Structure 1
Amino acid sequence: GDGTGVSLPAVLDFFTDLLSFYSEDYGKSFHDVSHAINNTFIKKDFGISAGPGNPQQVILTANLPFTESPGGVIFTSMDAGVTFRSVQLPFHPAQAIQFHYQDPKYLVVISIDDGLWLSEDFGNSWSEVHEGVHTFTWGSGLTLFFSSSPKGTARRGELILRRTKDVGKNFTTIAKNIVSFGYIGGFLFTSVMEKLGSPRVIYVSSDQGDHFRKAQLPSATTEQFYSVLDGDEDMIFMHVDNPGDTYFGTIYTSDDRGILYSKSLERHLFGGEGKSDFTNVTSLRGVYLTNILEEDGRIRSVITFDRGGRWRFLKKPENVNCPETSKKCSLHIHGEHSHFSGITPMLPLSEPTAIGLVIAHGSVGDSISAARPDVYVSGDGGYTWWGTLRGPHHYSILDSGGLIVAVEAHRDRQISSIKFSTDEGQCWKVFNFTDHPIFLAGLASEPGTKTMNISIFGYRPDDDDQPMWVAVTIDFEHLLTRECGEEDYVQWLAHSDYDSDPETDGCLLGYKETFRRLKKLSACRNGRGYVVSRQQRPCPCTREDYMCEYGFYRHENTSECLLQPDFLNQTQDICLNGELEDLQNTGYRKIPGDKCEEGVRPPRREDVFKKLCGKDISPTSANSHTKRSKNMAVEHLFIVFLFAAGHAGSYCGVRSYDKT
């Protein structure tokens, strides 16, 4: 929704397909609109698609047997489900229909016989633009990348990477003999086995596939893989797996071209099922959470506040005691591994509109615990934490962070109440929303984090012991009736430790950010019109604004970047490809996106770089080189990409409780 009150036009029946309903009051009431789609059942796995730029645009995909129909049927709506148009397709979709991220009238999907189908009029007409397609992704503008098999085979190393810039009218082959590819943050990645049987390497393009250059990363054998963990227009986080079934690898961070990579974190946990605990804390810039696998088998959580420049263990919450046997006590966060294993019902949660707020399941001690986790909240982007709720919960952020709601997660017990907090989880109130308890299935807020409405989905057994599904929507505007005024807000300096030099306090990635933020004790509502307000000021450069150059590493007891012992023996490829001029002559490189001015400049290391390739690459000679890009020669590749009225009471969290 977009403030209109319209909710998605369907409720999921977990035992059949979708029955279509429509709500225009954020799910408080629903109207059966099955007649508008001819009482057709909708696919359960990918039956609903909503436009990214216009929530009024909705597509339902009918569930029709492949053998009984020459093509599938979709229902399109331009008014969020009030009316639908039926469209007979000349193919059967094999997946969800994908909208263009900026212009939803452009649609693309792969059919069950591997055809790539495109629509330029919001699904009214379709044309097959290519055969034998395996995967695709939108690039910049109307650019579409896809991998295809010219011989109708899906064998590794026999695919080609193609590109169309005009929605399927003309095609260009930009790589051959590939297995897969990925696109993130404006960078196009592909993994390459340059010679048959040789380890794989990564090639990167920053110009939509016109030119590729080899990424300076360790090669990966058939027992390893690459994984793009996160990225934007400034830099990329790349995981390179260790050989064998080790369940860990190394995180590297790139320069602003995605070519030169520096080691960021070793022993990064990455499960064999393709699960990573790597989490982007979207409520504060530069912050990422993840878990590492220690040599003794323990799993511990680490956090970075400067985009991977430095990682540290999380602080223990002040109101939680450490186990008596703990020697290195800190907070550990449950991520994708725990969620996949059923230990936690939700992943860590943060939102760009809720500045500094992070909610996550965790445990306190020497390492992460497999016991029932508790819920912890941070209001400053992960610097400090507060133990807030005992046991697993479903939780959601409402009203741009002014309100947090949570419901206890039980597999064998029904629930009838919801908890809510207006002070970032320090105190909670309890609201009984029904006299007939339900088994909880999940929470949904609409529209997003700006709303004051939360829908609770679940079921209760009926007289025949069959599940009867229930949706309860709570409008907190009736509980928080006061609109926030100017006196309810305070200026908050992000990344401040309150003890450092006022001149540099809060400086991160070269600048300070001060936000206008709601006071914790203000029980009022921001409202849907709330906009995050911030002020930025540049900072003088320090050593913290620089990452180590490719071939260098930061010693654990110093901020100096030291040359890797075997680096001089690994430069042959750089020399042969004419990429030596890409390296700085200091051993340092400013972190991508860093905006610092003047201040500290790292010392030059010309003595080291003069030895590389037998060349002198001082600034004068480096500028004399002609920069060149080389097209990619590809044979085999493999890459993993990790690419959504009752009675009230209240209580506050105990100041200190034991965790054993």
Structure 2
Amino acid sequence: MIFFLCLQVILILTKLYDYNLGSITESSLWRSTDYGTTYEKLNDKVGLKTILSYLYVCPTNKRKIMLLTDPEIESSLLISSDEGATYQKYRLNFYIHSMLFHPKQEDWILAYSQDQKLYSSVEFGRRWLLLQETVTPNRFYWMQNCSEAVRSKPFPGYIDSDSLIVQDDYVFVQLTSGGRPHYYVSYWRNAFSQMKFPKYALPKDMHVISTDENQVFAAVQEWNQNDTYNLYISDTRGVYFTLALENVKSSRDLEGNVMIDLYEVSGIKGMFLANKKIDNQVKTFITYNKGRDWHLLQAPDTDLRGNPIHCLLPYCSLHLHLKVSENPYTSGNIASRDTAPGIIVASGNIGSELSDQDISMFVSSDAGNTWRQIFEEEHSVLYLDQGGVLVAMKHTSLPIRHLWLSFDEGRSWSKYSFTSIPLFVDGVLGEPGEETLIMTVFGHFSHRSEWQLVKVDYKSIFDRRCAEDDYRPWQLHSQGEACIMGAKRIYKKRKSEKKCMQGKYAGAMASQPCVCTEADFDCDYGFERHSNGQCLPAFWYNPSTLSKDCSLGQSYLNSTGYRKVVSNNCTDGVREQYTAKPQQCPGKAPRGLRVVTSDGTLTSEQGHNVTFLMQLEEVCSVSRFPTEAFESDLFGTEWIEQNTINEMILSMSTYLIPLLVFLQPLITLEGNIAFTFSAEGMNTITVQVSAGNTILQDTKTIAVYEQFRSLRLSFSPNLDEYNPDIPEWRRDVSRVIKIALVEVSEGTKLLFLNSMIFQN
């Protein structure tokens, strides 16, 4: 059965499946113009022998209806422009598998054929044009103003089939290289960029969860995960991702599709629920600021009978099932609505972990801060009258004739009979809008009987519409904190003692920005939050790399380590302090020169001779030595006589190396130089090579101590297996140990770990 409702019109397509033949043998089209009170059978208008397979409605003009015939019998379209009252039939020369309507142009349609061809129509299906062959199923989208940057091929390989995703202003693709997938994103039809995750995050699978408010929320399964995913949240462009929550539970549906245990609460931006796996236990967490902070759910104080519940955080909490039904006629385990902010209904349990046993129904009317138990068994819940009425129907395989109503956001429930004969319920419908107080229950009186439709109209319960004084203000908060996502938001809620029909929802009464605090900022890419709350560079991240990637004369954003949560509306406070500052790109040292010491270390003991080796990676031939290279503030003409320069020119075959130590220039044609440091401290050496009009430069810092020693470290051979495709992990470990290992010994000063040789 397929429903369509538009104002007072309801269209129903029913099909009879013959299990012996393994096919559909009959179909019927029904139409009601009085919201389900009476129905007219339209088989004679579409063809008595026509078998229909699907019903489509134009999303931008619901007067336009399209019916598909069963492709096993014929390939035709039936089109209506009067809400399904009359139809015109058009034959097709291909078999339609699925269709996609344009989000704005009501007559534009994409049709995907059973032989993987993509067709388009700009006449609402009356004529079709072949666009492309061998198209991947479900990987075709409407895009507006597609730029050349998106059309071009900016990738180091071929895009994986079945990887294209277009969602809001983002385009995502996947490429597999070296046995690993790599993900690319285009924002607002600009050129593609590779998505950047923390260095040791090695994705093997990714699912885009949300692209609301110009930000990407993605679930990533990393190389060491099997049944969990990590949640990452991006900057505005969708390029740089930071970790929001680890080890979120995942599962697969009957068709093998991955389902992430994450639920975005409708009506309140930035609010999510997630089931996280901790030591083989699954627990439910909630966030109000897009994943910056997560908390366990406080269990109800009492049970359904009013008995106290002893459940102490963090050892015991409320856990919820977060699966959402893909069937529009049945509810999933959890429900919320944009028009009823703060009201959440879900099934779950109380205890140390999420369980499939002893499942009860719970409701929150204050956005998850407090919860109440409402049923001891699972129920489907329908929102009517903008959430002013909640309808609950028991999950059961037995026929029923009662349902439950609540007019006070689930605080109390009343039992109502909707049919005199018990009905096997197959689904419940409350469309087209939640302003209505009419619902349609459909099912069978017996497994062999025809479809039964029961219209339930609750309008008679109310004698008036709500007035202004029937509402009270309700302030959104998180455990008493009123500033959420940088603003204080106050909503209208109907007073629980008032029984009036709400009609159209009034929305939020007021929104007032808050002063920015550290809580409004997350750690920027490459930074991690430490125990003191500060965002500091991760051991693998060097903030100076940003400046190295830009050119002289340009500018870059120098991160403070923080970035404001996208769509956070806070003002002033620490905003200026935590916001990245534009900074001019520094001059780049020429590439090609490398300075090392003869023993490979950049640490020396006081009084020891240090030999520096100057190595050119690219040797330039010299035709003329520029005298002006020495007429600078660095060298000064007083250091060099012109005849000395001439002699060096005559004897030079490839390059010249001046070495600066303690601002004392020394000119030599040798590839090395020895120097003895007589005092402790950090000493900077700068080497320049002049070759023709090219000058190459490198700078190194050498640490001189009165006494030091080097330690030799060895690692187990399997560490490479735990750091796949990251050959530089040894260098990262080296950097961490160099920073952390400080030893104080009697009679000596600081003994630093100077160099490490890693062995497998």
What is the CA distance between 1:565 and its match in structure 2? 2.2
Rate the CA distance shift 1:532–1:472 in 2: closer, same or farther, 3 A.
same
What is the CA distance between 1:220 and its match in structure 2? 10
1:242 paired to 2:245: no
The aligned residue for residue 451 of structure 1 is: 436
Q: Indicate conservation of the 8 Å contact 2:108/2:123, yes or no.
A: yes
What is the CA distance between 1:622 and its match in structure 2? 4.7
Match of 1:84 among 81, 87, 91: 87
Q: Indicate conservation of the 8 Å contact 1:186/1:206, yes or no.
A: yes
CA deviations 1:163-198 (Å, max 9, x no partner) are 6xxxxxxxx6676621211122311111223x4x25
The aligned residue for residue 315 of structure 2 is: 328
* Aligned mates of 2:428, 2:132 — CA distance in 1: 40
The aligned residue for residue 511 of structure 1 is: 487
CA deviations 1:418-453 (Å, max 9, x no partner) are 111100111111111111101111111121322111
SS at match of 1:61: strand
Give the residue type in structure 2 aligned to 1:22. R
SS at match of 1:56: coil
Match of 1:216 among 196, 200, 203: 196
1:560 paired to 2:523: no
Q: Indicate conservation of the 8 Å contact 1:345/1:392, yes or no.
A: no
The aligned residue for residue 102 of structure 2 is: 100
Q: Map residues 119-518 of structure 1 onto 2, 5 A cutoff.
A: 119-134=121-136, 135-141=138-144, 177-179=158-160, 180-193=163-176, 195=177, 197-208=178-189, 210-218=190-198, 224-243=204-223, 246-272=226-252, 273=256, 274-295=258-279, 297-320=280-303, 322=309, 328-336=315-323, 346-411=332-397, 413-461=398-446, 466-495=448-477, 497-498=479-480, 505-518=481-494
* Aligned mates of 2:333, 2:544 — CA distance in 1: 41
Structure index of larger Rg: 2
Q: Indicate conservation of the 8 Å contact 2:478/2:484, yes or no.
A: no
Q: Indicate conservation of the 8 Å contact 1:201/1:218, yes or no.
A: no
Give the residue type in structure 2 aligned to 1:430. K
* Aligned mates of 1:308, 1:140 — CA distance in 2: 30
Q: Indicate conservation of the 8 Å contact 1:28/1:473, yes or no.
A: yes
* Aligned mates of 2:12, 2:433 — CA distance in 1: 16
Rate the CA distance shift 1:126–1:624 in 2: closer, same or farther, 3 A.
farther
Rate the CA distance shift 1:460–1:174 in 2: closer, same or farther, 3 A.
farther
Give the residue type in structure 1 aligned to 2:57. A
Give the residue type in structure 2 aligned to 1:59. M
* Aligned mates of 2:507, 2:406 — CA distance in 1: 20
Q: Indicate conservation of the 8 Å contact 2:164/2:173, yes or no.
A: yes
What is the CA distance between 1:214 and its match in structure 2? 1.6
The aligned residue for residue 629 of structure 1 is: none
* Structure 2 residue ranges without an equivalent (≥5): 19-23, 589-760
Give the residue type in structure 2 aligned to 1:420. L
SS at match of 2:482: coil
Match of 1:620 among 583, 588, 613: 583
Q: Indicate conservation of the 8 Å contact 1:551/1:567, yes or no.
A: yes
SS at match of 1:35: helix
Identity %: 26
* Aligned mates of 1:248, 1:582 — CA distance in 2: 36
* Aligned mates of 2:342, 2:311 — CA distance in 1: 31
The aligned residue for residue 524 of structure 2 is: 549
What is the CA distance between 1:262 and its match in structure 2? 1.0
Rate the CA distance shift 1:530–1:598 in 2: closer, same or farther, 3 A.
closer
What is the CA distance between 1:39 and its match in structure 2? 2.7
1:525 paired to 2:501: yes
CA deviations 1:43-102 (Å, max 9, x no partner) are 55xx1222222222221111131xx65xx111122222111121111210122x211122
Rate the CA distance shift 1:198–1:492 in 2: closer, same or farther, 3 A.
same
Rate the CA distance shift 1:218–1:434 in 2: closer, same or farther, 3 A.
same
| Bigger relative contact order (CA 8 A; separation at least 6) | 1
Rate the CA distance shift 1:74–1:142 in 2: closer, same or farther, 3 A.
farther
* Aligned mates of 1:330, 1:532 — CA distance in 2: 32
* Aligned mates of 1:31, 1:510 — CA distance in 2: 54
1:599 paired to 2:573: yes
* Aligned mates of 2:527, 2:225 — CA distance in 1: 27
CA RMSD of aligned residues (A): 3.3
SS at match of 1:79: coil
Q: Indicate conservation of the 8 Å contact 1:192/1:201, yes or no.
A: yes
The aligned residue for residue 704 of structure 2 is: none
SS at match of 2:489: strand
* Aligned mates of 2:147, 2:443 — CA distance in 1: 40
Higher strand share: 2
Q: Map residues 33-72 of structure 1 onto 2, 5 A cutoff.
A: 33-42=42-51, 44=53, 47-65=54-72, 69=74, 72=75
Give the residue type in structure 2 aligned to 1:435. S
Give the residue type in structure 2 aligned to 1:593. S
Give the residue type in structure 2 aligned to 1:49. Y
* Aligned mates of 1:27, 1:518 — CA distance in 2: 29
* Structure 1 residue ranges without an equivalent (≥5): 146-160, 164-171, 499-504, 606-616, 626-660
The aligned residue for residue 646 of structure 1 is: none
What is the CA distance between 1:249 and its match in structure 2? 2.2
Q: Indicate conservation of the 8 Å contact 1:107/1:118, yes or no.
A: yes
Q: Indicate conservation of the 8 Å contact 1:60/1:74, yes or no.
A: yes
Rate the CA distance shift 1:327–1:497 in 2: closer, same or farther, 3 A.
closer
SS at match of 2:340: coil
The aligned residue for residue 609 of structure 1 is: none
* Aligned mates of 2:205, 2:275 — CA distance in 1: 18
* Aligned mates of 1:129, 1:571 — CA distance in 2: 48
What is the CA distance between 1:278 and its match in structure 2? 1.2
The aligned residue for residue 713 of structure 2 is: none
What is the CA distance between 1:492 and its match in structure 2? 1.9
What is the CA distance between 1:2 and its match in structure 2? 7.7
* Aligned mates of 1:282, 1:571 — CA distance in 2: 41
- Which segment is superposed worse, 325-334 or 29-38? 325-334
SS at match of 2:333: coil
1:118 paired to 2:120: yes
What is the CA distance between 1:543 and its match in structure 2? 0.7
Q: Indicate conservation of the 8 Å contact 2:266/2:336, yes or no.
A: yes
Q: Indicate conservation of the 8 Å contact 1:200/1:220, yes or no.
A: no
* Aligned mates of 1:372, 1:144 — CA distance in 2: 55
Provide TM-score, normalisation by structure 2: 0.68
CA deviations 1:127-156 (Å, max 9, x no partner) are 1111111144434537699xxxxxxxxxxx
SS at match of 2:459: helix
* Aligned mates of 1:319, 1:623 — CA distance in 2: 64
Rate the CA distance shift 1:532–1:140 in 2: closer, same or farther, 3 A.
farther
